[in-house]
Amino acid sequence: MHDTLLSVSYESLGKILAQLQDAPEIKASQTLAERVRNAISFHQQISVEVEAMRQQQRLVKQKLSEVTREPGERICNQAPPYNFGKYEEMRESGATPQQIYLATRADGLGRVESIAALRQLFQLSLPEAQDAISQAEAQFRQQAA
């Protein structure tokens, strides 16, 4: 919040100075006009530094936000917290959707996450992913029997 308050008053200051410069009382006095011009110039110089600091602050906040997230936390404007890196490698090695599904379940992933993995890795529609799962489960049952 301190950010916002600072931001509002800081931007307002620029506007106030600009309005002051146009005021007849300021225009009438050379000394006052000079002071206002100096103030505007100082405000402009500072604004560059303030903007750079704000940018740094945003980056630090972003980093802090990333490192303080809980497992399974979905953040606004970001992708879901899934990490399918391991299964990507399996796919690169030629694993089928069925094999990857069984691997995800063996790793303890839920059914929803497993479907998400198949759809992401193989660009499947939901019915295609569900079909692959049915096949994988049928194969698994056959092998177990």
Minimum separation from the CB atom of position 55 to another protein (A): 14
Q: Using the CB atoms, write b or e for 80-106: b if 16+ within 10 Å.
A: eeeebeebeebbeeebebbbbbbbbbe
Measured CA to CA, the distance from residue 132 to residue 130 in angstroms comes to 5
Q: Using the rule CB under 8 A, is 69 a contact of another protein? A: yes
Residues 28, 48, 76, 144: which binds another protein (CB under 8 A)? 76
CA 17, 41, 31 angle in degrees (round to 5)? 70
Q: Is 65 in the site for another protein (CB under 8 A)?
A: yes
123 in contact with another protein (CB under 8 A): yes
**Rounded distance between C-alpha atoms, residue 54 and residue 60, angstroms:** 10
Give the range of 31-39, 44-52, 65-73, 88-96 binding another protein by CB under 8 A.
65-73
Binding residues for another protein, per CB under 8 A? 1-2, 4-5, 8, 61-62, 64-66, 68-81, 110-112, 115-116, 119-120, 123, 126, 129
